[in-house]
Amino acid sequence: MSATSGSRDLRYEPHENPPFPVSLGLGLQRAFVHVAGILVAPVIVAKASMVDDSYLAWLVFATMASTGVGTLLQVFRFGPMGVGYLLPLYTFYSAIPFCIMALTYGGPATLITLLLASALFQIGAAKWLFTLRRIITPTLSGTMMMLVAAALAPVTYRLLDTASETEPVGAPVAALVTLVVIVALVLRAPPVLRLWAPVTGILAGCILTVIFGGYDFGNVVHTPWVGFPVSGWPGLRLDFGPAFWSLLPAFLFVSAAISLQASATAITLQSVSWRQPRAIDFRRVQGAVLSTGVGNLLAGIAGTVPNSVDWSIIPFIQTTGVAARRVGIFIAGIYIALALLPKASGLFSSIPQAVIVGYLIVIIGVIFFESARTIVQDGLDHRKIIVAGVSFWIGVAFEYQMLSFPNIDPASGWAVLQSGITTGGFTALALTLFLELTNRRMRFQSQLDVAALPELNAFIRRFATRHGWNSAMERRLYAVAEETLLTLAPIDEDANRPQQRQLVVLASRDDNTAQLEFIGAASEGNLEDRISQLRQHSPETTLEREGSLRLLRHYATSVRHQQYHETDVVTVRVNQPDA
């Protein structure tokens, strides 16, 4: 069965509420580490674009506020919007150079117009995620997340080199102490102390930096306690001039990368947020992409840099054992509060770079292997190995400048293609599209009702005949198709259902394996979860209506149930029986 592995030593699942001190402490941990990174982006954009101080103050405020509001949109579910898990937002660093170019060549109005176009693209991607289901796969998502980890590695060590220029001894020692404390607590500390591993390591590194005299308190001393930049907002003005059209392709690439990262993170997040394995709920993935787009729509109106989901929440959950949504609410509240407290923001932004390096090394390792596990758990074959392997190493080659496009102007919008995340991600996308376009499928359509069984059997017979399956395989396909139909449309279903559900079946062959894809209206429950639960009960205690599930589990090689808003997709793979 296709299933994802959960973090079985979790202390708190998404719906469980840790005590107030634990929730507040973990929220402060995330803020303690990530506010500095969030604040760096608007400062870089403002200073590189030579804007005035009032606009810089507005960018800092708007970035923190939009990140907090966007995090709330993720944690809560408002209809189809939101993932409903512990998933904060974070500044999307790949967008920084293009935000600088938009401000430099077109001004705030051009930047706002491009950000709004980018956000609308993300909202559209969430709407059509069902159509893109064969493209945005666990293999593609896992490869993207591995590339994120690979891209973060050189950035991390460049941070250490920069810190070592001023503190040749103190910086490496602080990074090492931070790393050692975090790893030691995660490996051997009891569960209660493991919750505080990240913040304990960071505090240890900060104390050591103070001892070496390398801690800069300037951001704390020279900023006010409370402030609101009333005059910084440039206003909601749209500009569709030459700068907009020249930079639009780059911003659409950025938007696609944000959508892919949100999808990948939401998929992996579900696999680490429960004690027992659960099937991936793609309605939550849609919600993650949609709320990210809506959050960036708000960020675009404010004229600040776009956000993506904070993929480092996955190793945070792994190291602390806490996946509770309540922690996400505290994180969002802290971000919003810091937007109005410049002195507190200055405190968090003063964390030494060397200390951040020690923490990032832990994150890179965890996120890389979690991403690889996402690929493996989807089921490996030679095609997925080629897609993931080739795409990953092409991305690494571009990221480490072993390969490059020689004629691309670094100041143009196409410079995004020099990024390993972009080139590796689009390589995986191209290979996935090639597999999809070259896969021949037979199609069957009817009402989702048990009365359609004779027509479905006739379709299965034509499919088996076309591909030369023997009689044993044909009987197995009959059984799988019948039990899947009975599971999706049980005999005791309400005959007075106001809206008749439709069924589409796509059949294809993959070597000695047949794949049947049942597409119908949304139903309650997930077949993967229900089949998995059968393993925990004996046949004598199982309800009679679960008989179809047991037969389906017996005949099928794997069953995958993808649930989208208003649509379910059940993919059943059947191996040819031995002679």
The CB density around residue 79, as the number of other CB atoms within 10 Å, is: 8
Distance (Å, whole) CA 113 – CA 110: 5
Provide φ and ψ at 326, rounded to 5°. Answer: -60, -35
Residue 254 has pLDDT above 90, yes or no: no
| CA dihedral for 302, 308, 313, 315, sign (positive or negative) | negative
Residue 543 has pLDDT above 60, yes or no: no
* Residue 92: predicted pLDDT: 82
Highest mean pLDDT among 117-121, 273-277, 377-381, 488-492: 117-121
* Residue 181: predicted pLDDT: 92
Structural domains in the chain, sorted by start = 20-436 (no CATH), 439-575 (3.30.565.10)
User: Reduced to 3 states, what is the DSSP secondary structure of residue 15?
Assistant: coil
Distance (Å, whole) CA 85 – CA 77: 9
Residue 542 has pLDDT above 80, yes or no: no
Work out the average pLDDT over 178-194. Answer: 84
Contact present, 86 and 273 (Cβ < 8 Å): yes
The CB density around residue 290, as the number of other CB atoms within 10 Å, is: 28
The CB density around residue 478, as the number of other CB atoms within 10 Å, is: 17
CB burial of 380-398 (b: ≥16 within 10 Å; e: otherwise) equals: eeeebeebbeebbbbbbeb
Work out the average pLDDT over 57-76. Answer: 88
Work out the average pLDDT over 497-510. Answer: 76
Those residues whose C-beta lies under 8 Å from the C-beta of residue 251, and which sit 6 or more positions away, are 95, 98, 102, 114, 115, 117, 118, 413
Q: Residue 180 — pLDDT band, cuts 50, 70, 90?
A: very high
Q: Residue 163 — pLDDT band, cuts 50, 70, 90?
A: confident
Distance (Å, whole) CA 190 – CA 542: 39
* Residue 350: predicted pLDDT: 65
Contact present, 126 and 285 (Cβ < 8 Å): no
User: Reduced to 3 states, what is the DSSP secondary structure of residue 404?
Assistant: coil
Task: Report the share of the chain in percent with pLDDT over 70.
Answer: 80
Going by C-alpha positions, the residue among 452, 416, 491 that lies closest to residue 95 is 416
Residue position matching structure tokens 């796509």: 506
* Residue 575: predicted pLDDT: 86
Exposure of 65 in the CB half-sphere (CA atoms within 13 A): 20
User: Reduced to 3 states, what is the DSSP secondary structure of residue 414?
Assistant: helix
Per-residue three-class SS string for 514-568 = EEEEEEEECCCCCHHHHHHHHCCCCHHHCCHHHHHHHHHHHHCCEEEEEEECCEE
The total number of residues shown for the chain amounts to 579
Q: Which residues pair with 443 in a beta bridge?
A: 506
* Residue 525: predicted pLDDT: 56
DSSP state of 322: B
Residue 380 has pLDDT above 80, yes or no: no
Contact present, 89 and 311 (Cβ < 8 Å): no
Q: Residue 247 — pLDDT band, cuts 50, 70, 90?
A: confident
Residue 537 has pLDDT above 50, yes or no: no
Mean pLDDT of the chain: 78
Distance (Å, whole) CA 428 – CA 464: 32
Can you read off the two tokens belonging to residue 264?
């990948």
Distance (Å, whole) CA 316 – CA 338: 21
Going by C-alpha positions, the residue among 381, 432, 495 that lies closest to residue 143 is 432
Distance (Å, whole) CA 480 – CA 460: 10
Q: Residue 218 — pLDDT band, cuts 50, 70, 90?
A: low
| CA dihedral for 408, 413, 414, 416, sign (positive or negative) | positive
Query: What DSSP line would sit under 215-261, residue for residue?
Result: ---HHHHTS-SS---TT----S----SHHHHHHHHHHHHHHHHHHHH
User: Reduced to 3 states, what is the DSSP secondary structure of residue 11?
Assistant: coil
Angle (deg, nearest 10), helices 197-211 and 20-49: 60
Contact present, 317 and 13 (Cβ < 8 Å): no
Those residues whose C-beta lies under 8 Å from the C-beta of residue 200, and which sit 6 or more positions away, are 181, 182, 185, 193
Those residues whose C-beta lies under 8 Å from the C-beta of residue 241, and which sit 6 or more positions away, are 106, 110
